[in-house]
Amino acid sequence: MPAYDPDPKMKFTFGLWTIANPGRDPFGGPTRETISPVDVANILGEAGAYGINFHDNDLIPIDASPAQADTIKKDFKKALKQNGLVVPMATTNLFSDPVFKDGAFTSNNAKIRAYAIQKTMRAMDLGAEFGAKIYVFWGGREGAESDATKNPIDAIKRFREAINFLCNYSIEQKYGYKFAFEAKPNEPRGHIYFAVTGSYLALIPTLDYPDMCGVNPEFAHETMAGLNFVHHVAQALEMKKLFHIDLNDQEMGRYDQDFRFGSVSYKAAFHLVKLLEDYNYNGPRHFDSHAYRQSDYQDVKEFAKGSMRTYMILKEKAAKWNADKEIQALRNEINLGDPNLEKLTKKYNSGNAKKLLEAPLDRTDLANARLPYERLDQLTAEVILGTR
Ligand code: GCO
Ligand code: MN
Ligand code: MN
């Protein structure tokens, strides 16, 4: 029986904000006591994680004095070292403070937009101090409840301008950051701009430094909107734009639940892990999820261990699926090649077009090809359920 221990090569990370989440929700206050960044490092060290990510204010409270900030940083660095943890990603809190109530980079107020950029520059300095190489942008407050309040075209232009500015800052400071944009359809705003991962994939080629920029899709976010998360990740992977990923779980059509990875949709989680492993994704696998509000910190540690363990189990299942003779035979049966036709359609030229128009393709005949998808899906289910 394999141990399913977290493999450092998987780069399993958690957020300071996730492990230290005290169980607050919109209807009730904290159910767990407040813990420090050092406590989080100790929990994650014991759980066997690879790293910790943070927003600027997860580590340094927004109103901390420079002396307090120094002490916090010193203590946290020590705890990271003791627990063998790294900080691969950093980000900015551009959503909690009332100043961002109507957006940060897309605010209607030029001073607030400038403040958001300034706060991000400082947060980038902080991340770099801890060795972070990925910088996440989640525009939690970039949106609107009423389109009477903000021009959505201006919002796109303002967002682009801020990112171009910050790319230049990173380059000038030699931070070597890769930027990763995280989409979400709504919550906390009624509507958030750049609602799905594909929105950012479309924005990136319009930026000044498209090579520096990619995406950080989150399982819960496309799923909330009833979309297929795996397909969004596939598009990012195919475009070589998957710089980071937020793993969690979510029921469709609900609020942003941020459940433990693999706790709801085993099948979607399986296909996601299989996609990441088949295509050798080698960025961090970040769990952006929260333990149940009922849990104490001992149970939060179980939540962290469980997230990584489920990934390792599904990784093994994906390898089983790939090695399964019957599954592979079915895959060969349904993927019908035709070297001559494929050569014709690979590249357009008038000769190929003429040949294609003349090709004898009988639709009634073609429709008769067998597609035993019930069998294939059942075999997939059995691999996941452990009977194969
Ligand atoms: C959410 C978001 C956030 C971001 C985080 C990093 O669940 O609403 O995913 O957790 O990922 O703020 O930018
Ligand atoms: Mn989320
Ligand atoms: Mn997230």
- What's the rounded Cα separation, in Å, for the pair 313 and 264? 15
Looking at the CA of residue 138, tell me the nearest atom of ligand 1: 13
State the pairing for strand pair 245-247/285-287: parallel
Mean pLDDT for the stretch of residues 303-316:
98
CB-count burial class (<10 Å; 0-12, 13-18, 19+) for 363: exposed
User: Ligand 1: does its nearest atom lie under 6 Å from the Cβ of 138?
Assistant: yes
Residue minimizing CA distance to atom 3 of ligand 1: 138
Reading phi first (left if > 0) and then psi (alpha if -120 to 50, else beta), residue 174 is in left
User: Ligand 1: does its nearest atom lie under 6 Å from the Cβ of 246?
Assistant: yes
At 236, the pLDDT band (50, 70, 90 cuts) reads: very high
Q: Which ligand is nearest to the CA of 18?
A: 1
**pLDDT of the residue at 74:** 98
194-228 confidence digits (pLDDT tens): 999 999 999 999 999 999 999 999 999 999 999 99
- What's the rounded Cα separation, in Å, for the pair 335 and 314? 25
The tokens 């990603």 sit on which residue?
89
> Taking ligand 3, which is a single-atom ion, which protein residues have CB atoms under 5 Å away?
218, 246, 288
Q: How far is the CA of 121 from the centre of ligand 3 (A)?
A: 20
Work out the number of other CB atoms within 10 angstroms of the CB of residue 175.
17
**pLDDT of the residue at 300:** 98
User: Ligand 1: does its nearest atom lie under 6 Å from the Cβ of 142?
Assistant: no
State the pairing for strand pair 191-192/143-144: antiparallel
- What's the rounded Cα separation, in Å, for the pair 291 and 249? 11
**pLDDT of the residue at 34:** 97
The residue type of 270 is F
Looking at the CA of residue 188, tell me the nearest atom of ligand 1: 8
- What's the rounded Cα separation, in Å, for the pair 10 and 282? 7
User: Ligand 1: does its nearest atom lie under 6 Å from the Cβ of 222?
Assistant: no
Q: Which ligand is nearest to the CA of 223?
A: 2
At 90, the pLDDT band (50, 70, 90 cuts) reads: very high
| DSSP letters spanning 77-139 | HHHHHHTT-B--EEE---SSSGGGTT-STT-S-HHHHHHHHHHHHHHHHHHHHTT--EEEEE-
Mean pLDDT for the stretch of residues 169-173:
98
Mean pLDDT for the stretch of residues 7-28:
97
User: Ligand 1: does its nearest atom lie under 6 Å from the Cβ of 288?
Assistant: yes
- What's the rounded Cα separation, in Å, for the pair 17 and 187? 17
**pLDDT of the residue at 1:** 59
Q: Are 31 and 286 in contact (CB under 8 A)?
A: no
Mean residue pLDDT across the chain: 97
Which of 182, 192, 200, 256 to probe ligand 1 with, by most ligand atoms within 8 A of CB? 182
Protein fold of 8-323 = TIM Barrel (3.20.20)
Residue minimizing CA distance to atom 6 of ligand 1: 138
Which of 52, 53, 218 to probe ligand 1 with, by most ligand atoms within 8 A of CB? 218
Sheet strands side by side (includes 285-287): 213-215, 178-182, 134-138, 89-91, 51-55, 12-15, 285-287, 245-247
User: Ligand 1: does its nearest atom lie under 6 Å from the Cβ of 287?
Assistant: no
On the question of pLDDT at 177 being above 80, the answer is yes
25-63 confidence digits (pLDDT tens): 999 999 999 999 999 999 999 999 999 999 999 999 999
Give me the residue spans of the domains in the chain. 8-323, 325-385
Read off the pTM. 0.97
